[in-house]
Structure 1
Amino acid sequence: MLEMWIILIVYLLIMVGVGWYYKKKNDSVSEFVLGGRTLGPWFTAFAYGTSYFSAVIFVGYAGKFGWNYGIASTWIGIGNAVIGSLLAWLVLGKRSRIMSKALEAKTMPEFFEKRYNSKTLKIVSAMIIFVFLIPYTASVYNGLSRLFEKGFGIPYKYCIIGMALFTAVYVIMGGYKATALTDFIQGIFMLVGITAVVLSVLNLNGGLTSSIDMLHNIPSADGSTGEYSSLLGPDPINLAGVVILTSLGTWGLPQMVGKFYAVKDDKSIKIGTIVSTVFAVIVAGGCYFLGGFGRLFVSNIDGSPEGGFDAIIPQIMERLPELLFGIVIVLVLSASMSTLSSLVLTSSSVLTIDLIKPMSKKLSEKKELLIMRIFIAVFLLISVILAIITLENPQTVISTLMSISWGALSGAFLAPYMYGLFWKGVTKASVIACFISGVGITIAHMFYYTFGNRSGELFGLDLASPINAGAFTMLFGLAVVPIVSLLTGRGKKEKEHAAQVFTCFSSSDT
């Protein structure tokens, strides 16, 4: 236990030290929010990866979907690497950097305002971001608190409060550059840690071959064997929904897309694409592959794991040597704090830049930074309260909270953002329609199925799953925007504005 405490304390002191180092280097809003748009490829790629993968993935998703699909859950990690990282950088990276710089957009709501010449879009998108980032933040707290309880015997709620305080300290002091440097440090921990953990867990059952053989002998719901060790698992249809949500979802999340705004040049985009993809293969692939062996360590009680889905990974970790368990704690803490810092910085900057600043024309940069720091604390406080309230509610397991958040955010933003980078013909009406459909479908599904405790199935697809609902909102939005754009058309002013915006690509210093 002493070794675990030493590892934890040293790690936390490093994080606070980084925040203190950058405290006096943030003299402008652009520096605080985007690091002055001067970050290189490695920092940006690691910031992208560590913001992508947190305790939500390692504890919540890896545990639940590893239990449901066996080693076929590894496809989720592969999808995260190929779609969520590689294609996201290839499709969105360069054009996001160029257009956001030309429009002087520091946040996604600012991008919507200046791309579509609409203050309404900025206000509405800012409100959506603030509301729906909260459940995602709560899911991050819940995932980490469960491992801390197992490793240190600290009650969940104290873990949540302590984590929020440390995150607040280094983000409020250091801003984006501090989070980028800590993300790089945290990323190193994650790469080394997940590799060591996977190898150690497999060795507990005699290695890879022996572990797969044992998994092969576990019967599925119909009594047959071999499904949990098969290539596609027992339920490939619903597995596809998880791949879509967790992979395509990054294309519409403001805290992920914002990483492209901070890159300094196109060369950094090319290098960052490779680095972030390799990072995702190791971290996401490793997490889901590990989760696929959960049934070897947790008892099956009437089809469900003993202690619930969120207890699977913590129970596996209990079998590891104490020193390695301490490294796992730091691994998950690294992933979670990097994600949290990205979430709170995104939310506070959106509230300040897109909602508060427009109401006060005399707001100086100094006051703007002060308000942003205050909102970081407020956002963390609200999410802590929600995390504690929902911690023991069986309807709000980690995967549910994340699915609601990603479904609403990416369902609303993915299509208008992506199309807006490539197509002049996107109309304001289509963007509003996508906002309404993304948020509306998510809320309707949440109240009817999740809170209504209803079930439903169509052609083997679980209609009650918030995962599938989130995946549907994204795909639906990709159809809504072009259809509504073609039906509504653009006026003369809209055409002129779009033409002016797209001159950035012909005049950019690529």
Structure 2
Amino acid sequence: MAVDPAVTIILVLVYVAITLVLGYLGYKKTIHAEDYLLAGRDSHPVIIALSYGATFISTSAIVGFGGVAANLGMGLIWLTVFNIGVGILLAFVLFGKKTREKGAETGAITFPDLMGKIFNTPKLQFISGIIILLGMPLYTAAVLIGGARFLETTLSISYTTALIGFAVIVALYVIYGGLIAVMYTDAFQGAIMLIGMTILLVLTYIYVGGVTAGHKALAAMSDLVPETLAGQGMTGWASMPELGSPIWFTLITTLVLGVGIGVLAQPQLVVRFMTARENRALNRAVLVGGPFILMMTGVAFTVGALTNVYFYQHMGKIAIDAAGGNVDSVIPLYINTAMPDLFVIIFMLTLLSAAMSTLSSLYHTMGTALVCDLWGRGQKCAMSLRANQIGCIVMMILSVVLALAMPASIIARATAMFMGLCASAFLPAFAVGVYSKRPSRAGAMASMISGAFIWFFYTVFIHTAEAKALGISQFLTGSVTILGAPWTVIDPLVIALPISLIVMVSFQVRERSVGVKSQV
């Protein structure tokens, strides 16, 4: 990086200092267990919206998915539409209010605790906690890797030092300040992300000759699509792939549906609804959350696609070729090649904010799941502040160990996987639970278990992207996948979620009909 290292280090230290000060303020306001776990149920609408958005958007959205847009084109903008329509409007208005009401009514403090109390069975709390502890550490490790690799390159320090230092700084304010500190720092980091992405969009359009000229140039590059991508259905960076082609299935089922729907049942996001004092706070949060998500994902996907224009005009190559075939390197290469020196630092802080805001919420969610929902189940969930702090430390250490053992190129994939798992396991039971007056306990258990099991089975044995990397299907059956096309490119969510929903609804209808007959 061409920026003066001294300036970089000073700005990073200022950023870290502000983050720790906000964490300290959260610590000072954390008196009771409910403060630690739910921010006292009295968060400001702007804090809720920025915390929700910053937690939702990690390095995967900016770097990982931005690189995917550079490779597959503007079709990824449909994910922005889903993020706003489903992840903000539907989530806050349809699910957010009911979640807040159920949380206040039952006294639930975590997502698994909410599920257990809605369905009046500790088993659901336990099952939900297990699923979180199985799936979330991998996602957390991937986010850790993204932040650490960026710090390693930018600050010229070893990867291990960057990883441990990054993990410890986030852990400090999460462990001592709880959810109040997490939400305060999320809001600050969200503001930095908003500034950084706004500048990125403006400068990009300047570099490609303006909005109209840039998009016309992108559309005119369709004949430069690599043969490997064209053979899988890609038609250009400014158009959708051929309907039913492998790339179309990947784009729609894994990226758009997997992330767009999966956001509705992410435990670390659902808890944000329970921090609101009243429903009006959630209505107001939508006014901030919608534009924030638009700027985060919309800008990342637009800029990602337009990097093809920039690199072709300046290097005679499309983006993926300029980055040496590495999708995750496109956005960092573009920033370091095209942007002014000062913005390189701003963007570094933007990525740092994206990673830290997501990471802090994951730490908090995993720690409380371990202590409240597994170890302390049935003891009003929150046994003590100290116990929950220890839970966060344990899960932080586990995540660091996983991050040291895992490769660095899994951020975007891990995001889609985790969100798909959450939707398949939690969404049907969660939706029925917050809306039904008599939700089916057996249905929730069957739906949750079947959704998680089918998702894992499909991931391991059928979906090529994961099955090939894991190698379990190859080892057990002698084949990378047990089914052929098109099943190998259809995301596990598309199969597991409908089955989970059918199971939930079937039990709900059957129990309701039995109840009606008994009354007659």
Residue 275 to residue 471, structure 1, CA distance change in 2 (3 Å)? farther
Residue 3 to residue 122, structure 1, CA distance change in 2 (3 Å)? same
CA distance in 2, matches of 1:405, 1:17: 31
CA distance in 2, matches of 1:402, 1:386: 16
1:117 aligned counterpart, secondary structure = coil
Question: Offset of 1:29 from its aligned partner?
Answer: 1.0
**Could you tell me which residue of structure 2 aligns to residue 54 of structure 1?**
58
1:463 aligned counterpart, secondary structure = helix
Instruction: Encode CA deviations 1:208-245: one digit per residue, 9 max, x unaligned.
Output: 34433443315224569993343434544432222111
Count of matched residue positions in the alignment of Structure 1 and Structure 2: 485
Work out which of the residue numbers 7, 10, 13 in structure 2 matches 1:9: 13
The one-letter code matched in structure 1 to 2:507 is V
Alignment check: 8 A CA contact 1:407 1:438 kept: no
Give runs of aligned pairs for residues 225-304 of structure 1, distance below 5 A. Answer: 227-233=235-241, 235-241=247-253, 242-296=255-309, 297=311
Question: Offset of 1:425 from its aligned partner?
Answer: 4.9
**Could you tell me which residue of structure 1 aligns to residue 330 of structure 2?**
312
1:387 aligned counterpart, secondary structure = helix
Residue 160 to residue 474, structure 1, CA distance change in 2 (3 Å)? farther
Work out which of the residue numbers 23, 29, 36 in structure 2 matches 1:25: 29
Residue 475 to residue 63, structure 1, CA distance change in 2 (3 Å)? farther
The one-letter code matched in structure 1 to 2:488 is L
**Could you tell me which residue of structure 2 aligns to residue 423 of structure 1?**
436
Instruction: Encode CA deviations 1:391-450: one digit per residue, 9 max, x unaligned.
Output: 25xxx6212222222222221111100111112353122212222222212322332242
**Could you tell me which residue of structure 2 aligns to residue 469 of structure 1?**
492
CA distance in 2, matches of 1:54, 1:422: 30
CA distance in 2, matches of 1:23, 1:379: 20
Work out which of the residue numbers 335, 360, 370 in structure 1 matches 2:354: 335
Question: Offset of 1:12 from its aligned partner?
Answer: 0.5
Alignment check: 8 A CA contact 2:70 2:319 kept: no
2:35 aligned counterpart, secondary structure = helix
CA distance in 2, matches of 1:32, 1:148: 29
1:397 aligns with 2:410: yes
CA distance in 2, matches of 1:291, 1:301: 9
Residue 431 to residue 324, structure 1, CA distance change in 2 (3 Å)? same
Question: Offset of 1:359 from its aligned partner?
Answer: 7.1
1:85 aligned counterpart, secondary structure = helix
2:384 aligned counterpart, secondary structure = helix
Greater mean deviation of Cα atoms: 429-438 or 102-111: 429-438
2:377 aligned counterpart, secondary structure = helix
Question: Offset of 1:307 from its aligned partner?
Answer: 4.8
Instruction: Encode CA deviations 1:61-81: one digit per residue, 9 max, x unaligned.
Output: 2212x0343122222122211
CA distance in 2, matches of 1:83, 1:295: 29
2:236 aligned counterpart, secondary structure = helix
Work out which of the residue numbers 389, 398, 405 in structure 2 matches 1:373: 389
CA distance in 2, matches of 1:348, 1:490: 40
Q: CA RMSD in A?
A: 2.9
Alignment check: 8 A CA contact 1:60 1:398 kept: yes
Greater mean deviation of Cα atoms: 155-164 or 343-352: 155-164
Greater mean deviation of Cα atoms: 100-109 or 227-236: 227-236
Work out which of the residue numbers 30, 34, 38 in structure 1 matches 2:42: 38
Alignment check: 8 A CA contact 1:56 1:139 kept: no
**TM-score normalised by L of structure 1:** 0.87
CA distance in 2, matches of 1:288, 1:347: 30
Instruction: Encode CA deviations 1:17-48: one digit per residue, 9 max, x unaligned.
Output: 11222323212110011111011211111111
CA distance in 1, matches of 2:335, 2:158: 18
**Could you tell me which residue of structure 2 aligns to residue 505 of structure 1?**
none
1:387 aligns with 2:391: no
**Could you tell me which residue of structure 2 aligns to residue 194 of structure 1?**
197
Work out which of the residue numbers 179, 186, 202 in structure 2 matches 1:176: 179
Greater mean deviation of Cα atoms: 251-260 or 219-228: 219-228
Question: Offset of 1:126 from its aligned partner?
Answer: 0.8
Residue 209 to residue 3, structure 1, CA distance change in 2 (3 Å)? farther
**Could you tell me which residue of structure 1 aligns to residue 477 of structure 2?**
none
1:355 aligns with 2:374: yes
1:230 aligned counterpart, secondary structure = coil
Residue 389 to residue 4, structure 1, CA distance change in 2 (3 Å)? same
Question: Offset of 1:111 from its aligned partner?
Answer: 1.2
Instruction: Encode CA deviations 1:356-385: one digit per residue, 9 max, x unaligned.
Output: 223779x9x7x6211111111111111112
Alignment check: 8 A CA contact 1:427 1:490 kept: no
**TM-score normalised by L of structure 2:** 0.86
Alignment check: 8 A CA contact 1:15 1:182 kept: yes
Work out which of the residue numbers 64, 87, 92 in structure 2 matches 1:89: 92
Which stretches in structure 2 are left out of the alignment for 5+ residues?
475-479
Identity of paired residues, percent? 26
1:424 aligned counterpart, secondary structure = coil
Residue 440 to residue 305, structure 1, CA distance change in 2 (3 Å)? farther
The one-letter code matched in structure 2 to 1:238 is T
CA distance in 2, matches of 1:304, 1:486: 56
Question: Offset of 1:300 from its aligned partner?
Answer: 6.3
**Could you tell me which residue of structure 1 aligns to residue 456 of structure 2?**
443
The one-letter code matched in structure 2 to 1:477 is S
Which stretches in structure 1 are left out of the alignment for 5+ residues?
497-510
**Could you tell me which residue of structure 2 aligns to residue 137 of structure 1?**
140
